[in-house]
Structures are given as C-alpha cells and as structure tokens.
Structure 1
Amino acid sequence: MKVSFLIPLFIAFASTGAVAKNKTTYADIQVTDVDPTSDFIWQRANQNTPKYPVELARSGLRGCAVLAFNITDSGKTENVEVINTLPNKHIGKYSRKMLKKWKWVPAATEMASEKRVLRLDFCMGGESVEQAEQACKQQTKLACS
C-alpha cells in the first residue's frame, strides 16, 4: 500500500539564496510505506500533506529520507531512526523532526505497538503543482541510499 501526499508550497523570500526572490516555488512531499501491508494497526491522524520545511525550501534542498520508528500502543511516535538520507543529513534531520510530531489513530481494532519504515521524498520545482507532483513521483522510484 503506497501512500502519497501533495502540497503546493508558495514561498516569497526577502533574502537571496537558492530560491529566487519573490518567486513562487512549487513543492511536494511524497510519503511511502517501505514495507507496505494492509494490516497496519495505526494510521496518521492528520492525512494532510506534511508541510515542506521552510529551511529546506530556502536552501533549495531536495532529497529523500528513510526512517524507522515505533508507534506506541497509545499512538505516539517513538525511537525515530534515520536509516538513509540523500543528498545530506539535513533531509534526515528535518524528516525526523517532522515524524516525531505525527499523531496516530487506530486503523484496526487492536491497540498494540507497531514498528514502521517510511520514506519521505522532498521535491521542488516546475511551473505548477502538477509538475512538482510528477517530479516527486519519479523521484520515489530512485534509490534513497
């Protein structure tokens, strides 16, 4: 079971950097279960697309991270471990920070702890939301190691 999310990111920056001043930037985050199964005990409480970290967008940083973590029997995220990250550790740092804030709700009747592995792909570019989404879907097919 592949789970994907999309969000446009509209950013106007007062400073210069990798992203041009006052330019609209389209971004997407794809969330993919690395070991998909239909027997998940927990699902994310907020199914909206995670927000692209402003710090990553300002620096024009794109990439991916694979994270392993536990969901407690009360639905909290614990023991988040960055397994792989590209192109550098900043993607993993922000992915870990983001994932630690997620809340989980039961997807099944039992309320037990669960070990999960997710891949987060951070993509920017293109001239529309659709182009950013398409680029990110292509990126998910590439290795993240």
Structure 2
Amino acid sequence: MKTLKLIPIFLAVASVSALAKNNMLYGDVQVTNVAPTNDFIWERANQNTPKYPIELARSGIKGCAVLSFNISESGNTENIEIVNSVPKKDLGKYSRKMLQQWKWVPAKTDTEGVAEKRTVRLDFCMGGESTEQSQSACKQQAQLACS
C-alpha cells in the first residue's frame, strides 16, 4: 500500500519539472548612456547586447543599475561605482562584473590616449513570448526612474 502512495506523488513531481523545462525565458539587457552626448571619446568595442547573467535569469531577477566609471587612456574600464541599483545587491554586483569586461575603442581617430568619465544605465528585463517582446519591455522600463 505504501508503494502505491509514492508512485502518484513521484509522477506529479516529474510532470511539474518537465513543464518547467519547456518554458522559455526571454531576457534583454539595455545599455543607456546617462547624459548622452555626441562628443564621446570612447565607444564599446563590442556593440552587441550584453548577455543576461544566467544566475539572475534563474532567480527571475530583473531591474536596473546606474554605474559611473572611468575609461582609461588604453580603453579599459576602471573605478566602477554603483550609483543606484534596484534590487541593490544582485543587479549592482552583476552590472559591475559586466562592465569590468568591457573594452573600449576610440570613437574618433584623433582621440586615442585620452581618459573619459562615463555613466551608464543597465536595464535587465525578462518576460514575454519572444526576444522582441522582452526588448520592447526593456525600452519601456528604461523610461522609468531607477530608484
């Protein structure tokens, strides 16, 4: 008798986990320059959309982070400061890690060797039934305050 009771419970757990594996999560990270200008000295070497950190996606964490940093004379990201982050712990930490990996190239040929101070906002968005829907949600979120 006890064996019969365990079988239905096992099947129920197995079917729930199988359903969870079939669900697709779509995420997007939008990069916005705070105080944009046409006179930037540096631009990101890789203009592709940053990848959503898998740890955040698994936890369902979304939100925004504003970071201030320096771009050195050689194009490295330095002195990253988290200005604001919602939720504070996770997005700030992952945003800083993401920025540390960014490499920069001169925006104009005559500006190499000059340092620059920058502030960017990273919006982490998840949801929707496609990548396009998550990107659209991210553009809308970027219009809201990050506080």
TM-score normalized with structure 2 length: 0.83
Q: 1:120 aligns with which of 122, 125, 129?
A: 122
> What does residue 133 of structure 1 align with?
135
Structure number with the higher helix fraction is 2
2:98 is aligned with 1:95: no
Letter in 2 for 1:59: S
Aligned residues: 127
C-alpha separation between the residues in 2 aligned to 1:31 and 1:96?
Answer: 13
> What does residue 56 of structure 2 align with?
56
Aligned-residue identity in percent: 68
Task: Describe the SS at the equivalent of 1:48.
Answer: coil
Structure 1, unaligned runs of 5 or more: 1-15
> What does residue 43 of structure 2 align with?
43
CA positional deviation for 1:24: 1.1
Letter in 2 for 1:129: T
Task: Describe the SS at the equivalent of 1:21.
Answer: helix
CA positional deviation for 1:121: 0.1
> What does residue 106 of structure 1 align with?
106
CA positional deviation for 1:140: 0.3
Runs of 4+ residues deviating >3 angstroms: none
* CA RMSD between the two structures: 1.0
CA positional deviation for 1:88: 2.6
Larger Rg: 2
Deviations 1:102-133 (A, max 9, x none): 00000021120000000000000001111111
Letter in 2 for 1:136: C
Structure 2, unaligned runs of 5 or more: 1-16
